[in-house]
Amino acid sequence: MSMEQDPTENAGNAKPRSLIGTRLETSAAGTARYAALTADFNPIHLDPEFSRNTPFGVPINHGTLGLSLLTQSIEATFGGRSFSLDIRFTRPAPVGVVLIAGGDALPDEDTYDVHVAIEDGPRVIEGTLRLSNAFKPYQDSDHK
């Protein structure tokens, strides 16, 4: 994985215009590791023979692999700040593509349009990021 953007572009206290992008070259080996990490061994992610008979024709990455990459983009930009995401998995990403996660500021305060896209290709995850106002670990007692 690598960073796509110079973090100094977001230096200072102003709301960053964009997230620090993160990039991942997906591969069968990486997918196998992610399957082991999540205990999700669905053959649609792992087995080319099985996948040939699916609408996709080839193995596809786990959707949450892209979500994890997006989470890292948010952490790279805002550190340990609390946040909420609301995303849709809009299309599958074949194993072997390069995924790029990032986002752009929306007019609303502390809100971003976020996405994960195939490099030079379509978005596979789209959604909205809302930052919390301050770093404050949530305590169970907060809602009692």
Partner 1 sequence: MTDIRTETGLWDYAAFHDGQLLGQMTFRIDETRMTLWTGIFEKRCDPRALPRSLLVSAMMEAYLRVAQPRPPGNIHAGQTLSLHGREPRLDEVLIIQTSVERKFERKGRKWIAFRSDIRADGTRLLSGEILTIWAS
Could you say whether residue 137 binds partner 1 (CB under 8 A)?
yes
Least CB distance to partner 1 at residue 6 (A): 18
Least CB distance to partner 1 at residue 15 (A): 19
| Residue closer to partner 1 (CB basis): 23 or 105 | 23
Binding mask 13-42 for partner 1 (x = CB under 8 A): -----------x-----x--xx-xxxxx--
* Number of residues counted as binding partner 1 (CB under 8 A): 37
Q: What's the CA gap between 10 and 21, in Å, rounded?
A: 12
| Residue closer to partner 1 (CB basis): 10 or 89 | 89
Could you say whether residue 10 binds partner 1 (CB under 8 A)?
no
Least CB distance to partner 1 at residue 96 (A): 14
Taking a C-beta distance cutoff of 8 angstroms, is the pair 131, 82 a contact? yes
Taking a C-beta distance cutoff of 8 angstroms, is the pair 24, 1 a contact? yes
Task: Give the residues across from 110 on adjacent strands.
Answer: none
Secondary structure element (H or E) that encloses residue 3, with its range: strand 2-3
Query: What residues contact residue 85 under an 8 Å CB cut-off, 6+ apart?
Result: 67, 70, 71, 74, 114, 127, 128, 129, 130
Task: Tell which positions 91-130 bind partner 1, by CB under 8 A.
Answer: none
